[in-house]
Amino acid sequence: MYRQMYYAANSFASNKKKAMKRFTNKVVFITGGSRGMGAGIAKRMAAEGAHVVITYVHSADQAKQVVDAITKTGQQALAIQADNASPNEINEAIEKAVATFGRIDILVNNAGVYIGKPLAEYTLEDFDSTMSVNVRAVFLASQKAAQYMNESGRIITIGSNMADRVAHATGSLYAMSKSALIGLTKGLARDLGNRGITVNLIQPGPVDTDMNPANTALADVLRSGMAIPTYGQPEDIAELVTYLASEASWYMTGASLTIDGGFSI
């Protein structure tokens, strides 16, 4: 209900925006862009005029669907198979994107993993896997992409509201990794601010994707703790990404923005 009211109220404004695309000829690189929030972000950025590069690990068919959907709109798109757990594959994917498009204007660190277990059952492999994808890959991708960014570059990372509130057991590793992104975002903002590059963090709560569907018993529990008892959609996260990627957000950097229907309050 809430989402329908929002989009109905903004339909006229959306139609006006079609003639005023904010990212015409910009190049956006999105890790984990074949499904869920990543796919939603990719399509939204393309609708605003951007050329889009996405990475994927196993979802080749879904990645192709995203690319096809974007190219049908007249924008260019490229899908690259790259595992965020591999430093070499991250760097190679960014270099391939630059070789194709000449630069990267906007980096969206979206890829992530969740390993939920009781504390006693976590292994060292679980720790290394979580940190390599959720933290190390964000650092490496940001470091590499920044080399090819001009002034007004944007780095946007998708974290989690679990950085601020862990509402259930079995989330220790995930929460730790997402909390680390807060410090990394602040540090990168300091490092890159003098170049006009902004760095910000989005912390979503429950969003209806295949990894966290809105039609399960767990979803009912999560909704009971939200001020707005409704799951978000990938489009909701994409809307915030477009703001942070735009010129309108030029004075915002080092920020952590929670978007979770009030779950964290």
Catalytic residue numbers?
174
> How far is Cα 139 from Cα 130, in angstroms, rounded to an integer?
14
What is each CA distance from 36 to 58, 99, 171, 187, in whole angstroms? 14, 27, 21, 28
Q: Quickly list H helices, 48-86.
A: 60-71
> How far is Cα 11 from Cα 106, in angstroms, rounded to an integer?
26
Contact 31, 109 (CB under 8 A): yes
- H or E, element range at 178: helix 172-192
Instruction: Match 């707005």 to its residue by tokens.
Output: 228
Read off the tokens for 223.
Answer: 């909704």
Those residues whose C-beta lies under 8 Å from the C-beta of residue 4, and which sit 6 or more positions away, are none
